[in-house]
Amino acid sequence: MSSDAITLVEMAIERSAAGTADDDDLNALIESAWRDVLAQQNERKAVAELLSSDPATLDPRLVPFRATIDAGGLTGAEILIVAGTGFASAFAKEFGAAAAKALFPKLQQLWNKYIRPRVSPAGSTKMSLPPVEKLDS
Amino acid sequence: MPLSATHKAVLALGLTAARHLDEECCDDEDDAILAKRRAARGILYKGVQGAPAHVTSLDGVAPYLSKNAGELKRDVGLDNADVRAAHDLLTTLALGVRNNDGDGIAHPALGPDGCACGILELAGLVEQRIRSALGNAEINLPPDDPAVHYATYLVEEHDLLTTFRVGGKADIVPSPRIVYLMLKLGEVFTARDMLHLAYTLHHELVCHAFQSALSDGPRINAHHKCHWTEGWMDTLAHDLTKAWIAEDMRPANWIALAGESAVGEVRNFHDERYLRPPRMEKNDVKRRRWARDAYRAFVKTLERAALARSKEEADRLGEKFSLLLNTHAEADCKRLRKLATNLRIALVSRKRLEPAISVVQAGLAFVHDRNLNLLEQRVELAVVS
Protein backbone atom coordinates (compact mmCIF):
# COMPACT_ATOMS: atom_id res chain seq x y z
CA MET A 1 0.00 0.00 0.00
CA SER A 2 1.40 3.44 -0.87
CA SER A 3 1.92 6.18 1.70
CA ASP A 4 -0.95 8.17 0.13
CA ALA A 5 -3.30 5.35 0.97
CA ILE A 6 -1.95 5.21 4.51
CA THR A 7 -2.81 8.88 4.92
CA LEU A 8 -6.25 8.23 3.53
CA VAL A 9 -7.17 5.56 6.06
CA GLU A 10 -6.61 8.02 8.88
CA MET A 11 -8.96 10.59 7.44
CA ALA A 12 -11.81 11.63 9.63
CA ILE A 13 -15.36 11.64 8.34
CA GLU A 14 -17.18 13.23 11.26
CA ARG A 15 -16.53 14.42 14.78
CA SER A 16 -19.57 14.95 16.97
CA ALA A 17 -20.59 15.07 20.60
CA ALA A 18 -21.33 11.50 21.62
CA GLY A 19 -24.90 10.39 22.08
CA THR A 20 -26.04 7.41 24.12
CA ALA A 21 -23.99 4.91 22.09
CA ASP A 22 -20.32 4.31 22.78
CA ASP A 23 -17.72 3.20 20.26
CA ASP A 24 -18.50 -0.52 20.62
CA ASP A 25 -22.23 0.11 20.14
CA LEU A 26 -21.58 2.31 17.12
CA ASN A 27 -19.16 -0.10 15.47
CA ALA A 28 -21.75 -2.85 15.77
CA LEU A 29 -24.40 -0.54 14.30
CA ILE A 30 -22.09 0.56 11.47
CA GLU A 31 -21.34 -3.06 10.60
CA SER A 32 -25.03 -3.91 10.57
CA ALA A 33 -25.86 -0.82 8.49
CA TRP A 34 -23.20 -1.71 5.91
CA ARG A 35 -24.50 -5.28 5.64
CA ASP A 36 -28.02 -3.93 5.27
CA VAL A 37 -27.01 -1.53 2.48
CA LEU A 38 -25.28 -4.31 0.56
CA ALA A 39 -28.25 -6.62 1.04
CA GLN A 40 -30.51 -4.19 -0.86
CA GLN A 41 -29.68 -4.67 -4.54
CA ASN A 42 -30.68 -1.14 -5.56
CA GLU A 43 -28.61 0.40 -2.75
CA ARG A 44 -25.64 -1.88 -3.41
CA LYS A 45 -25.74 -0.69 -7.04
CA ALA A 46 -26.02 2.96 -6.02
CA VAL A 47 -23.11 2.67 -3.58
CA ALA A 48 -20.99 0.91 -6.18
CA GLU A 49 -21.73 3.72 -8.59
CA LEU A 50 -20.85 6.30 -5.96
CA LEU A 51 -17.52 4.57 -5.31
CA SER A 52 -16.91 3.89 -9.03
CA SER A 53 -16.72 0.25 -8.16
CA ASP A 54 -18.24 -3.07 -9.20
CA PRO A 55 -21.23 -4.06 -6.99
CA ALA A 56 -19.87 -7.60 -6.79
CA THR A 57 -16.62 -6.42 -5.19
CA LEU A 58 -18.31 -4.68 -2.24
CA ASP A 59 -17.59 -6.91 0.73
CA PRO A 60 -19.83 -6.93 3.83
CA ARG A 61 -16.78 -7.88 5.90
CA LEU A 62 -14.84 -4.79 4.83
CA VAL A 63 -16.68 -2.14 6.80
CA PRO A 64 -15.89 1.36 5.48
CA PHE A 65 -16.12 3.24 8.81
CA ARG A 66 -14.98 2.89 12.38
CA ALA A 67 -16.01 4.87 15.48
CA THR A 68 -13.59 5.86 18.23
CA ILE A 69 -13.91 8.02 21.33
CA ASP A 70 -12.06 11.22 20.56
CA ALA A 71 -12.30 12.65 24.05
CA GLY A 72 -14.28 11.94 27.19
CA GLY A 73 -14.98 13.76 30.40
CA LEU A 74 -17.34 15.49 32.73
CA THR A 75 -19.19 17.19 29.89
CA GLY A 76 -19.54 14.00 27.86
CA ALA A 77 -17.59 12.26 25.16
CA GLU A 78 -16.88 13.03 21.52
CA ILE A 79 -17.12 10.48 18.75
CA LEU A 80 -14.79 10.40 15.77
CA ILE A 81 -15.83 8.48 12.68
CA VAL A 82 -12.91 7.52 10.47
CA ALA A 83 -12.69 5.72 7.17
CA GLY A 84 -12.12 2.05 8.02
CA THR A 85 -8.59 0.81 7.47
CA GLY A 86 -9.47 -2.48 5.81
CA PHE A 87 -11.90 -0.94 3.34
CA ALA A 88 -9.58 1.83 2.19
CA SER A 89 -6.59 -0.51 2.01
CA ALA A 90 -8.49 -2.96 -0.15
CA PHE A 91 -9.67 -0.13 -2.37
CA ALA A 92 -6.13 1.26 -2.68
CA LYS A 93 -4.82 -2.19 -3.56
CA GLU A 94 -7.37 -2.62 -6.32
CA PHE A 95 -7.52 0.87 -7.79
CA GLY A 96 -4.28 2.55 -6.69
CA ALA A 97 -3.43 5.27 -4.19
CA ALA A 98 -4.66 8.17 -6.33
CA ALA A 99 -8.09 6.62 -6.71
CA ALA A 100 -8.11 5.85 -3.00
CA LYS A 101 -7.42 9.49 -2.21
CA ALA A 102 -10.27 10.59 -4.48
CA LEU A 103 -12.44 8.19 -2.53
CA PHE A 104 -12.61 10.41 0.53
CA PRO A 105 -15.45 12.80 -0.51
CA LYS A 106 -17.35 9.77 -1.77
CA LEU A 107 -16.93 8.07 1.59
CA GLN A 108 -18.35 11.15 3.24
CA GLN A 109 -21.40 10.89 0.98
CA LEU A 110 -21.66 7.19 1.73
CA TRP A 111 -21.59 7.95 5.45
CA ASN A 112 -24.08 10.82 5.28
CA LYS A 113 -26.56 9.23 2.89
CA TYR A 114 -26.49 5.49 3.61
CA ILE A 115 -24.79 4.63 6.89
CA ARG A 116 -25.42 7.44 9.40
CA PRO A 117 -29.20 7.45 8.88
CA ARG A 118 -29.21 3.72 9.68
CA VAL A 119 -26.87 4.02 12.67
CA SER A 120 -28.74 6.93 14.21
CA PRO A 121 -32.08 7.53 12.47
CA ALA A 122 -34.00 10.76 12.96
CA GLY A 123 -35.22 10.90 16.55
CA SER A 124 -32.62 8.41 17.76
CA THR A 125 -30.20 9.45 20.51
CA LYS A 126 -27.43 7.02 19.52
CA MET A 127 -25.45 9.87 17.97
CA SER A 128 -25.93 13.56 18.54
CA LEU A 129 -26.78 16.03 15.85
CA PRO A 130 -25.42 18.16 14.38
CA PRO A 131 -21.69 17.36 14.27
CA VAL A 132 -19.44 19.65 16.32
CA GLU A 133 -17.43 20.50 13.23
CA LYS A 134 -16.78 19.23 9.75
CA LEU A 135 -13.22 18.12 9.28
CA ASP A 136 -11.18 19.14 6.28
CA SER A 137 -9.97 16.46 3.98
CA MET B 1 -9.67 26.25 20.70
CA PRO B 2 -7.00 28.55 22.12
CA LEU B 3 -7.92 31.69 24.01
CA SER B 4 -8.17 34.81 21.88
CA ALA B 5 -6.92 38.16 23.16
CA THR B 6 -10.48 39.18 24.01
CA HIS B 7 -11.14 35.92 25.85
CA LYS B 8 -7.93 36.32 27.85
CA ALA B 9 -9.14 39.69 29.09
CA VAL B 10 -12.65 38.35 29.75
CA LEU B 11 -11.27 35.40 31.68
CA ALA B 12 -8.84 37.50 33.74
CA LEU B 13 -11.54 40.00 34.73
CA GLY B 14 -14.23 37.38 35.29
CA LEU B 15 -12.03 35.16 37.44
CA THR B 16 -10.79 38.14 39.47
CA ALA B 17 -14.39 38.98 40.34
CA ALA B 18 -15.02 35.36 41.37
CA ARG B 19 -11.85 35.14 43.43
CA HIS B 20 -12.19 38.37 45.41
CA LEU B 21 -15.47 40.17 44.91
CA ASP B 22 -18.30 37.66 45.24
CA GLU B 23 -20.71 39.13 47.75
CA GLU B 24 -21.50 35.68 49.10
CA CYS B 25 -17.95 35.43 50.42
CA CYS B 26 -17.96 38.79 52.18
CA ASP B 27 -17.75 38.44 55.97
CA ASP B 28 -19.02 41.95 56.52
CA GLU B 29 -22.63 43.07 56.90
CA ASP B 30 -21.88 46.76 56.62
CA ASP B 31 -23.92 48.24 53.77
CA ALA B 32 -21.19 50.68 52.80
CA ILE B 33 -18.64 47.88 52.42
CA LEU B 34 -21.07 45.71 50.48
CA ALA B 35 -21.82 48.66 48.20
CA LYS B 36 -18.10 49.08 47.50
CA ARG B 37 -17.75 45.42 46.56
CA ARG B 38 -20.79 45.67 44.32
CA ALA B 39 -19.36 48.74 42.65
CA ALA B 40 -16.03 47.01 42.15
CA ARG B 41 -17.75 43.95 40.71
CA GLY B 42 -19.74 46.26 38.44
CA ILE B 43 -16.52 47.75 37.07
CA LEU B 44 -15.19 44.29 36.24
CA TYR B 45 -18.52 43.31 34.67
CA LYS B 46 -18.36 46.42 32.51
CA GLY B 47 -14.80 45.46 31.65
CA VAL B 48 -15.93 42.02 30.53
CA GLN B 49 -18.69 43.53 28.40
CA GLY B 50 -16.30 46.05 26.84
CA ALA B 51 -13.46 43.60 26.13
CA PRO B 52 -14.56 42.60 22.60
CA ALA B 53 -14.46 46.22 21.50
CA HIS B 54 -11.29 47.25 23.35
CA VAL B 55 -9.05 44.17 23.22
CA THR B 56 -8.41 43.13 19.66
CA SER B 57 -4.80 41.94 19.92
CA LEU B 58 -2.61 40.23 22.50
CA ASP B 59 -0.75 43.52 22.99
CA GLY B 60 -4.00 45.03 24.19
CA VAL B 61 -4.67 42.58 27.04
CA ALA B 62 -2.23 43.90 29.65
CA PRO B 63 -3.14 47.61 29.20
CA TYR B 64 -6.84 46.71 29.41
CA LEU B 65 -6.36 44.83 32.70
CA SER B 66 -4.29 47.74 34.06
CA LYS B 67 -7.01 50.18 32.99
CA ASN B 68 -9.61 48.18 34.93
CA ALA B 69 -7.31 48.01 37.96
CA GLY B 70 -6.96 51.79 37.70
CA GLU B 71 -10.74 52.21 37.63
CA LEU B 72 -11.09 50.14 40.80
CA LYS B 73 -8.60 52.42 42.53
CA ARG B 74 -10.10 55.65 41.19
CA ASP B 75 -13.82 54.89 41.45
CA VAL B 76 -14.03 52.62 44.49
CA GLY B 77 -10.80 53.14 46.40
CA LEU B 78 -8.52 50.54 47.90
CA ASP B 79 -9.41 50.82 51.57
CA ASN B 80 -11.41 47.59 51.42
CA ALA B 81 -9.16 44.51 51.57
CA ASP B 82 -11.06 42.55 48.93
CA VAL B 83 -11.20 45.42 46.45
CA ARG B 84 -7.49 45.94 47.05
CA ALA B 85 -6.87 42.22 46.46
CA ALA B 86 -8.80 42.41 43.17
CA HIS B 87 -6.80 45.49 42.16
CA ASP B 88 -3.49 43.83 43.02
CA LEU B 89 -4.46 40.63 41.22
CA LEU B 90 -5.35 42.50 38.03
CA THR B 91 -2.04 44.35 38.23
CA THR B 92 -0.19 41.05 38.64
CA LEU B 93 -2.15 39.43 35.81
CA ALA B 94 -1.31 42.36 33.53
CA LEU B 95 2.39 41.72 34.20
CA GLY B 96 1.91 37.99 33.61
CA VAL B 97 0.24 38.18 30.20
CA ARG B 98 2.21 36.12 27.70
CA ASN B 99 2.06 36.44 23.95
CA ASN B 100 0.55 32.99 23.42
CA ASP B 101 -2.83 31.27 23.42
CA GLY B 102 -2.91 30.75 27.19
CA ASP B 103 -2.82 26.96 26.92
CA GLY B 104 -0.02 24.67 27.99
CA ILE B 105 1.51 22.56 30.71
CA ALA B 106 0.49 23.69 34.19
CA HIS B 107 2.65 24.46 37.18
CA PRO B 108 1.58 25.84 40.58
CA ALA B 109 4.15 28.58 40.07
CA LEU B 110 3.67 29.61 36.45
CA GLY B 111 6.70 28.97 34.29
CA PRO B 112 8.11 31.65 31.96
CA ASP B 113 5.70 30.65 29.17
CA GLY B 114 2.64 30.27 31.37
CA CYS B 115 0.12 33.03 30.77
CA ALA B 116 -1.35 34.32 34.04
CA CYS B 117 -4.72 35.17 32.49
CA GLY B 118 -6.16 31.68 32.35
CA ILE B 119 -6.43 28.75 34.69
CA LEU B 120 -2.93 27.28 34.37
CA GLU B 121 -1.97 28.24 37.91
CA LEU B 122 -5.11 26.63 39.39
CA ALA B 123 -4.66 23.59 37.16
CA GLY B 124 -1.08 23.34 38.38
CA LEU B 125 -2.22 23.36 42.00
CA VAL B 126 -4.77 20.60 41.40
CA GLU B 127 -2.38 18.55 39.28
CA GLN B 128 0.28 18.77 41.98
CA ARG B 129 -2.29 17.54 44.49
CA ILE B 130 -3.31 14.58 42.30
CA ARG B 131 0.33 13.66 41.63
CA SER B 132 0.86 13.74 45.37
CA ALA B 133 -2.18 11.43 45.88
CA LEU B 134 -0.69 9.07 43.27
CA GLY B 135 2.62 9.18 45.13
CA ASN B 136 0.84 8.36 48.40
CA ALA B 137 -0.71 5.37 46.64
CA GLU B 138 2.84 4.25 45.77
CA ILE B 139 2.32 4.83 42.08
CA ASN B 140 5.78 5.77 40.94
CA LEU B 141 5.55 8.22 38.09
CA PRO B 142 8.37 10.58 37.04
CA PRO B 143 7.57 14.19 38.14
CA ASP B 144 6.13 15.39 34.82
CA ASP B 145 4.99 12.07 33.40
CA PRO B 146 2.56 11.67 31.85
CA ALA B 147 2.62 15.29 30.75
CA VAL B 148 -0.77 17.02 30.77
CA HIS B 149 -1.52 19.93 28.46
CA TYR B 150 -4.42 22.23 29.33
CA ALA B 151 -6.59 23.97 26.77
CA THR B 152 -9.25 26.45 27.85
CA TYR B 153 -12.03 27.78 25.77
CA LEU B 154 -14.90 30.16 26.35
CA VAL B 155 -18.21 29.42 24.69
CA GLU B 156 -21.29 31.55 24.12
CA GLU B 157 -23.75 28.68 24.34
CA HIS B 158 -23.44 24.96 24.85
CA ASP B 159 -26.27 22.47 25.17
CA LEU B 160 -24.39 20.64 27.93
CA LEU B 161 -23.71 23.78 29.95
CA THR B 162 -27.20 24.69 31.03
CA THR B 163 -27.27 24.19 34.79
CA PHE B 164 -23.61 25.05 35.33
CA ARG B 165 -21.10 27.19 33.44
CA VAL B 166 -18.07 24.92 33.65
CA GLY B 167 -17.33 21.72 31.77
CA GLY B 168 -14.40 19.58 30.79
CA LYS B 169 -13.13 16.64 28.81
CA ALA B 170 -9.85 14.86 28.25
CA ASP B 171 -8.07 13.15 25.40
CA ILE B 172 -5.48 10.64 26.64
CA VAL B 173 -4.58 9.21 23.23
CA PRO B 174 -1.90 11.80 22.29
CA SER B 175 1.20 12.74 24.27
CA PRO B 176 1.01 15.01 26.12
CA ARG B 177 -2.47 14.09 27.23
CA ILE B 178 -4.92 16.98 26.89
CA VAL B 179 -7.41 18.35 29.40
CA TYR B 180 -9.95 20.72 27.87
CA LEU B 181 -11.76 23.18 30.11
CA MET B 182 -14.86 24.90 28.90
CA LEU B 183 -16.37 28.01 30.48
CA LYS B 184 -19.59 29.67 29.41
CA LEU B 185 -19.51 33.40 28.85
CA GLY B 186 -22.03 35.66 30.50
CA GLU B 187 -21.91 37.51 33.79
CA VAL B 188 -18.61 37.65 35.64
CA PHE B 189 -17.86 34.35 37.33
CA THR B 190 -18.90 33.59 40.88
CA ALA B 191 -17.17 31.84 43.76
CA ARG B 192 -19.48 28.88 43.10
CA ASP B 193 -18.22 28.69 39.51
CA MET B 194 -14.71 28.39 40.94
CA LEU B 195 -15.80 25.37 42.97
CA HIS B 196 -17.19 23.81 39.79
CA LEU B 197 -13.87 24.52 38.11
CA ALA B 198 -11.97 22.89 40.98
CA TYR B 199 -14.24 19.82 40.76
CA THR B 200 -13.89 19.66 36.98
CA LEU B 201 -10.10 19.75 37.22
CA HIS B 202 -10.12 17.01 39.85
CA HIS B 203 -12.49 14.93 37.72
CA GLU B 204 -10.53 15.27 34.48
CA LEU B 205 -7.24 14.44 36.19
CA VAL B 206 -8.37 11.69 38.58
CA CYS B 207 -10.82 9.94 36.26
CA HIS B 208 -9.32 10.53 32.81
CA ALA B 209 -5.91 12.14 32.42
CA PHE B 210 -4.06 9.59 34.56
CA GLN B 211 -6.06 6.59 33.37
CA SER B 212 -3.61 3.90 32.12
CA ALA B 213 -0.78 6.24 33.22
CA LEU B 214 1.60 3.30 33.63
CA SER B 215 0.84 1.89 30.19
CA ASP B 216 3.30 2.19 27.31
CA GLY B 217 0.76 0.89 24.81
CA PRO B 218 -2.03 2.56 22.86
CA ARG B 219 -4.64 4.25 25.04
CA ILE B 220 -8.37 4.72 24.64
CA ASN B 221 -10.71 7.45 25.90
CA ALA B 222 -13.68 6.61 28.08
CA HIS B 223 -17.24 7.25 26.88
CA HIS B 224 -19.49 9.03 29.36
CA LYS B 225 -21.45 5.85 29.99
CA CYS B 226 -18.33 4.13 31.39
CA HIS B 227 -19.49 3.60 34.96
CA TRP B 228 -15.98 2.86 36.23
CA THR B 229 -14.63 6.21 35.00
CA GLU B 230 -17.73 8.34 35.50
CA GLY B 231 -19.12 6.66 38.61
CA TRP B 232 -16.52 4.89 40.73
CA MET B 233 -13.61 7.21 39.94
CA ASP B 234 -15.83 10.30 39.88
CA THR B 235 -16.83 9.54 43.47
CA LEU B 236 -13.17 9.57 44.43
CA ALA B 237 -12.74 12.84 42.49
CA HIS B 238 -15.64 14.29 44.50
CA ASP B 239 -14.06 13.22 47.79
CA LEU B 240 -10.68 14.66 46.83
CA THR B 241 -12.31 17.96 45.81
CA LYS B 242 -14.25 18.08 49.06
CA ALA B 243 -11.09 17.53 51.07
CA TRP B 244 -9.24 20.17 49.03
CA ILE B 245 -11.80 22.90 49.63
CA ALA B 246 -11.77 22.28 53.38
CA GLU B 247 -11.01 25.41 55.33
CA ASP B 248 -7.38 24.64 56.08
CA MET B 249 -6.44 23.15 52.68
CA ARG B 250 -7.98 25.33 50.01
CA PRO B 251 -5.98 27.95 48.11
CA ALA B 252 -8.14 30.81 49.39
CA ASN B 253 -7.01 33.20 46.67
CA TRP B 254 -8.67 30.89 44.12
CA ILE B 255 -11.45 29.29 46.16
CA ALA B 256 -13.18 32.06 48.08
CA LEU B 257 -16.27 30.20 49.26
CA ALA B 258 -15.67 27.93 52.24
CA GLY B 259 -17.49 25.85 54.82
CA GLU B 260 -20.85 24.13 54.41
CA SER B 261 -21.85 26.33 51.47
CA ALA B 262 -18.80 25.19 49.51
CA VAL B 263 -19.20 21.54 50.43
CA GLY B 264 -22.89 21.69 49.50
CA GLU B 265 -22.16 23.31 46.16
CA VAL B 266 -19.60 20.66 45.25
CA ARG B 267 -22.10 18.01 46.27
CA ASN B 268 -24.81 19.61 44.06
CA PHE B 269 -22.45 19.67 41.09
CA HIS B 270 -21.54 16.02 41.73
CA ASP B 271 -25.17 14.93 42.24
CA GLU B 272 -26.36 16.52 39.03
CA ARG B 273 -24.22 14.00 37.17
CA TYR B 274 -26.22 11.17 38.75
CA LEU B 275 -29.68 12.72 38.50
CA ARG B 276 -30.05 14.19 35.04
CA PRO B 277 -26.96 13.49 32.97
CA PRO B 278 -27.62 14.32 29.33
CA ARG B 279 -27.19 11.85 26.46
CA MET B 280 -27.48 8.73 28.56
CA GLU B 281 -29.89 5.80 28.58
CA LYS B 282 -31.73 5.19 31.85
CA ASN B 283 -29.86 1.95 32.49
CA ASP B 284 -26.50 3.64 31.97
CA VAL B 285 -27.46 6.30 34.52
CA LYS B 286 -28.37 3.48 36.91
CA ARG B 287 -25.00 1.83 36.35
CA ARG B 288 -23.28 5.13 37.09
CA ARG B 289 -25.21 5.41 40.37
CA TRP B 290 -24.46 1.80 41.26
CA ALA B 291 -20.74 2.38 40.65
CA ARG B 292 -20.87 5.29 43.10
CA ASP B 293 -22.67 3.09 45.62
CA ALA B 294 -20.11 0.34 45.05
CA TYR B 295 -17.22 2.69 45.81
CA ARG B 296 -18.92 3.71 49.06
CA ALA B 297 -19.67 0.05 49.90
CA PHE B 298 -16.02 -0.89 49.29
CA VAL B 299 -14.85 1.66 51.85
CA LYS B 300 -17.63 0.82 54.30
CA THR B 301 -16.91 -2.92 54.08
CA LEU B 302 -13.26 -2.25 54.94
CA GLU B 303 -14.50 -0.73 58.18
CA ARG B 304 -17.31 -3.19 58.91
CA ALA B 305 -15.12 -6.22 58.38
CA ALA B 306 -12.36 -4.64 60.46
CA LEU B 307 -10.02 -4.73 57.47
CA ALA B 308 -9.19 -1.11 58.25
CA ARG B 309 -8.56 0.25 61.73
CA SER B 310 -10.46 3.48 61.24
CA LYS B 311 -12.67 5.34 58.77
CA GLU B 312 -9.64 7.38 57.73
CA GLU B 313 -7.67 4.23 56.94
CA ALA B 314 -10.63 2.80 55.04
CA ASP B 315 -10.86 6.01 52.98
CA ARG B 316 -7.14 5.89 52.30
CA LEU B 317 -7.26 2.24 51.20
CA GLY B 318 -10.28 2.89 48.97
CA GLU B 319 -8.39 5.76 47.35
CA LYS B 320 -5.21 3.72 46.95
CA PHE B 321 -7.02 0.74 45.41
CA SER B 322 -8.89 2.97 42.95
CA LEU B 323 -5.84 4.98 41.85
CA LEU B 324 -3.72 1.85 41.46
CA LEU B 325 -6.40 0.24 39.34
CA ASN B 326 -7.13 3.29 37.19
CA THR B 327 -3.46 3.92 36.38
CA HIS B 328 -2.53 0.24 35.95
CA ALA B 329 -0.36 -0.60 32.92
CA GLU B 330 -2.76 -3.30 31.68
CA ALA B 331 -5.98 -1.45 32.44
CA ASP B 332 -8.09 0.50 30.01
CA CYS B 333 -11.59 1.85 30.48
CA LYS B 334 -13.26 -1.12 28.78
CA ARG B 335 -11.55 -3.67 31.03
CA LEU B 336 -12.19 -1.52 34.10
CA ARG B 337 -15.85 -1.11 33.17
CA LYS B 338 -16.31 -4.88 33.15
CA LEU B 339 -14.53 -5.16 36.47
CA ALA B 340 -16.67 -2.35 37.90
CA THR B 341 -19.81 -4.30 37.03
CA ASN B 342 -18.56 -7.31 39.00
CA LEU B 343 -17.44 -5.11 41.89
CA ARG B 344 -20.91 -3.61 42.02
CA ILE B 345 -22.66 -6.99 41.95
CA ALA B 346 -20.57 -8.30 44.85
CA LEU B 347 -20.56 -5.08 46.88
CA VAL B 348 -24.10 -3.81 46.34
CA SER B 349 -26.46 -6.23 44.60
CA ARG B 350 -25.78 -9.41 46.59
CA LYS B 351 -27.00 -7.73 49.78
CA ARG B 352 -24.81 -10.06 51.83
CA LEU B 353 -21.59 -9.22 53.59
CA GLU B 354 -19.59 -12.31 52.47
CA PRO B 355 -19.21 -11.45 48.77
CA ALA B 356 -18.46 -7.84 49.72
CA ILE B 357 -15.74 -8.97 52.12
CA SER B 358 -14.26 -11.29 49.46
CA VAL B 359 -14.12 -8.40 46.99
CA VAL B 360 -12.50 -6.08 49.50
CA GLN B 361 -9.95 -8.76 50.38
CA ALA B 362 -9.26 -9.17 46.66
CA GLY B 363 -8.81 -5.40 46.48
CA LEU B 364 -6.32 -5.42 49.34
CA ALA B 365 -4.42 -8.27 47.72
CA PHE B 366 -4.28 -6.20 44.51
CA VAL B 367 -2.87 -3.25 46.42
CA HIS B 368 0.05 -5.53 47.33
CA ASP B 369 0.55 -7.69 44.24
CA ARG B 370 -0.88 -5.29 41.59
CA ASN B 371 -1.91 -8.29 39.55
CA LEU B 372 -4.94 -7.27 37.50
CA ASN B 373 -5.68 -10.78 36.17
CA LEU B 374 -5.76 -12.19 39.68
CA LEU B 375 -8.00 -9.37 40.87
CA GLU B 376 -10.47 -10.02 38.05
CA GLN B 377 -10.52 -13.75 38.86
CA ARG B 378 -11.00 -13.15 42.57
CA VAL B 379 -13.80 -10.66 42.00
CA GLU B 380 -15.55 -13.06 39.61
CA LEU B 381 -15.34 -15.77 42.24
CA ALA B 382 -16.90 -13.40 44.78
CA VAL B 383 -19.72 -12.66 42.35
CA VAL B 384 -20.66 -16.33 41.92
CA SER B 385 -20.21 -17.21 45.60
Is B203 part of the contact surface with chain A (CB cutoff 8 Å)?
Answer: yes
Q: How many CB pairs under 8 A join A and B?
A: 79
| Confidence label for B251 from pLDDT (cuts 50, 70 and 90) | very high
Q: How high is the pLDDT of residue B161?
A: 80
- The answer to whether the beta carbons of residues B72 and B16 sit under 8 Å apart is no
Find the CB nearest B278 among A69, A76, A78. Answer: A76
Q: What is the pTM of this model?
A: 0.94
Q: Which long-range contacts (CB under 8 A, 24 or more apart) does A109-112 make?
A: A109/A50, A110/A47, A110/A50, A110/A51, A110/A64, A111/A13, A111/A14, A111/A64, A111/A65, A111/A81
Residue B255, classed as helix, strand or coil, is coil
Closest Cα in chain A, distance from residue B141 (Å): 23
Tell if the CB–CB gap between B224 and A72 is shorter than 8 Å.
yes
B171/A75 touch (CB, cutoff 8 Å), yes or no: no
CB atoms inside a 10 Å sphere around CB B184: 19
What confidence score (pLDDT) does residue A56 get?
A: 94
Percent over 90 (pLDDT), chain B = 84
* CB A50 within 8 Å of CB A106: yes
pLDDT tens-place values along chain A, 137 residues long: 344 444 444 678 999 999 999 999 999 999 999 999 999 999 999 999 998 889 999 999 999 999 999 999 999 999 999 987 667 677 777 777 777 777 888 999 999 999 999 999 999 999 987 555 444 43
Check if B196 contacts A (Cβ < 8 Å).
Answer: no
pLDDT at B356: 96
Give chain B positions within 8 Å (CB) of A24: 334
Closest residue of B to A79, CA-based?
Answer: B223
Reported ipTM: the value is: 0.89
Chain B residues lying within 8 Å of A78, measured CB to CB: 169
Backbone angles phi, psi at A127, to 5 degrees: -125, 155
CB B184 within 8 A of CB B157: yes
- Amino acid of residue A106: K
Residues 6 or more apart whose CB falls under 8 angstroms from that of B21 comprise: B37, B40, B41, B44, B82, B83, B86
Q: Chain A contact for B223, CB < 8 A?
A: yes
